[in-house]
Amino acid sequence: MRHSIFLTLCLGSAIALSACNKPKSGGEEVERAIADVNVIDESNLNDIMLTVGDPDEAVAYFKRTAESQPNRIDLKRGLAQSLIRAKRPVEAVPVWKAIVASSEGTSVDRVSLADALIRAGDWKEAEAVLDKVPPTHETYRRYRLEAMIADSNKEWKKADSFYETAVGLTTNPGSVLNNWGYSKLTRADFQGAEKLFSQALSYDSKMFTAKNNLVLARGAQRKYDLPVIPMTQIERAQLLHTLALSAIKQGDVTTGKGLLQEAIDTHPQHFEAATRALEALENNVSNG
């Protein structure tokens, strides 16, 4: 509705203006004004579809407009980005490949293709695509993907170097610090992981994944108290549950049972997962 009103007002102003300038032969001016407004309005709609619009609706919109204007590379990019937002990376891959292969393809597009390939689970091809990106293309996104690929290959020194570079190329490195911490966690470097998760939360205190990972890193070191970080009551219960499972996994069953009970008591609603885990433990004890 807002776009319709905006378009009507703009058209009215454009027509009035052209009428003042050329009262007898303003047809061309009016058509030019209408075309300009349509471009502005379409640009606004494209931005909305790429950011706040429903992902599947955005896919349908860009697919339709790209088919009607096949020479518009920006519409193809919009379609590929919308497919990623809609969690359909397998469909996004051929679109990005077509963009990269075109005369208008850029290094940014190639990095986007690598990202889509990783999301689709094709790590080998993603690595090959990134290898073709010029070393002069130094961006946060490129090095974050390089780090993830190095992780998948268990090339830890390369991964650390890429993660460090990526952190230095963004003002909000919370998510990449969380990824780096998880990398350390998989290597059993629990102290290093704990430090990185804490740093991630210093940038984004609402990132629950980093909170949960931090608890896992502490639990692996048999630190069974919750860290001093911002958390809601529900998050506290969920983190206690994570800590309990970590304790049980390491054989500290009594501690785990206590943490499960605390999680159940803390949660404002019925905590099904923690309740089931505690019942299973108690049944094992009674059967044993």
**SS3 sequence of 57-89:** HHHHHHHHHHHHCCCCHHHHHHHHHHHHHCCCH
Q: Over the chain, what is the mean pLDDT?
A: 87
Q: Which residue has the higher pLDDT, 147 or 13?
A: 147
Backbone angles phi, psi at 153, to 5 degrees: -90, 0
Q: What percent of the chain has pLDDT over 90?
A: 76
pLDDT given for residue 46 in this prediction: 76
Three-state SS at 195: helix
pLDDT at 106 over 70: yes
pLDDT in tens, 47-62: 777 776 789 999 999 9
pLDDT in tens, 5-48: 333 334 344 333 344 444 444 555 545 544 444 444 556 777 77
Cβ pair 95, 76 in contact under 8 A:
yes
pLDDT given for residue 274 in this prediction: 94
pLDDT given for residue 13 in this prediction: 40
pLDDT given for residue 63 in this prediction: 93
- Euclidean distance between the first and final Cα of the chain, in Å? 68
Cβ pair 224, 208 in contact under 8 A:
no
pLDDT in tens, 250-283: 999 999 999 999 999 999 999 999 999 999 888 8
pLDDT given for residue 27 in this prediction: 56
Compute the chain's Rg from CA coordinates.
Answer: 27
How far is residue 66 from each of residues 69, 73, 99, 105, measured CA to CA in Å? 5, 8, 12, 16
List the alpha helices (DSSP H) in 204-250. 208-220, 233-249
